[in-house]
């Protein structure tokens, strides 16, 4: 796995910034982070003509920098070095992508306002186009970590998730559980009695799970969670079961077994990202 040394956190001057900054300080204690960058892009194109006249004698960049610096000083409870970056680029997506490349960012963190005001559009674009790992933080997230779920479809692409889980396991006493959601083959359901095929399907998944975990060589103890989705959407079922099991972090790969293009997300990961998810979602890209 690629170590997480540098983190970039996107701020928008909303109330959620405090929580995002606080959670970032918590994350720095989980990984061997060396530096955190907090970025805000001033959207001058959204300033009306009336306000523009009022602000013409005000150094907006300086004021916002002071506000964010104060916010970070109050909420970032970590000894890790940090820096605030302010810009007024007309394209926030290109700005953040530029910073990710220029500063060799390993993890991009953004706040998930649970579909308020189209808040996920920028994050979704960055998730597809940036090459670093991505952490999607919902509102009201607690700075705690007791149970981590690592999603797998038994593909090679999902193996990379376990490298990060293994790193966390080597340093912290969390409960780690590998989770797989499976469905019965619905194209056979009109002809086959489900009560007969379910046990066979369960045995098949058990063997696949055992073989997969042997290949990844997870250094600690990891529990197997097998969820029968039946006819439910896999992401929906995964979210529901994660809530029931009090999961604090969900780790998934950016792609599933059938994704080809580098700019295409796996359908389950995309579905999880776009849902009203109340659990931090760690998306592993390489």
Find the domain containing 93 and state its range: 6-138
Q: 160: pLDDT confidence band, cut at 50, 70 and 90? A: very high
Whether the model clears a pTM of 0.85, i.e. scores above it, the answer is yes
**159 within some domain:** yes
Give the per-residue pLDDT at 259.
46
pLDDT tens sequence across 110-159: 999 876 655 578 998 999 899 999 999 999 899 999 999 999 999 988 99
Q: Are residues 125 and 228 in the same domain?
A: no
Higher-confidence residue: 274 or 215?
Answer: 215
Q: Which of 273, 269, 271, 275 is nearest to 256 (CA)?
A: 269
pLDDT tens sequence across 25-66: 999 999 999 999 999 998 765 554 545 555 666 678 889 999
Q: Which of 84, 103, 138 is the last residue of a domain?
A: 138
Contact 189, 234 (CB under 8 A): no
Which residues fall within 8 angstroms of residue 233, CB to CB, at 6 or more apart?
Answer: 271
CA distance 124 to 129: 9
pLDDT tens sequence across 245-278: 999 999 999 986 654 444 445 788 888 888 789 9
Q: Which of 104, 138, 172 is the last residue of a domain?
A: 138
Helix (H, G, I), strand (E, B) or coil at 76: coil
Q: Which of 84, 119, 138 is the last residue of a domain?
A: 138
Q: Are residues 153 and 50 in the same domain?
A: no
Question: What is the radius of gyration, based on Cα positions, of the chain?
Answer: 21
Q: How many CB atoms lie within 10 A of CB 175?
A: 17
């Amino acid at each position: 796995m690629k170590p997480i040394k540098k983190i970039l956190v996107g701020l928008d001057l909303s109330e959620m910034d405090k929580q995002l900054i606080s959670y970032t300080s918590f994350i720095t204690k989980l990984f061997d982070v060396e530096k955190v960058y907090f970025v805000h892009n001033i959207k001058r194109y959204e300033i009306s003509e009336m306000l523009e006249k009022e602000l013409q004698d005000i150094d907006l960049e300086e004021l916002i920098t002071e506000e964010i610096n104060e916010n970070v000083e109050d909420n970032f409870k970590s000894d890790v070095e940090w820096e605030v970056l302010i810009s007024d680029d007309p394209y926030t997506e290109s700005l953040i992508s530029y910073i990710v490349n220029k500063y060799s960012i390993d993890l991009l963190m953004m706040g998930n306002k649970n579909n308020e005001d189209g808040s996920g559009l920028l994050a979704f674009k960055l998730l597809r186009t940036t090459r670093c790992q991505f952490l999607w933080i919902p509102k009201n997230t607690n700075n705690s970590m007791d149970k981590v779920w690592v999603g797998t479809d038994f593909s090679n692409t999902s193996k990379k998730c376990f490298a990060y889980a293994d790193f966390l396991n080597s340093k912290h006493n969390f409960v780690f559980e590998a989770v797989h959601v499976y469905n019965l083959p619905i194209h056979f359901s009109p002809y086959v009695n489900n009560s007969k095929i379910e046990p066979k399907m369960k045995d098949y998944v058990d063997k696949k799970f055992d073989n997969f975990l042997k290949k990844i060589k997870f250094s600690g103890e990891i529990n197997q969670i097998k969820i029968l989705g039946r006819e439910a959407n896999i992401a929906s079922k995964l979210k529901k079961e994660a809530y029931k099991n009090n999961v604090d972090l969900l780790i998934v790969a950016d792609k599933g077994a059938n994704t080809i293009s580098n700019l295409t997300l796996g359908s389950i990961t995309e579905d999880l990202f776009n849902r009203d998810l109340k659990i931090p979602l760690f998306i592993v890209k390489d």
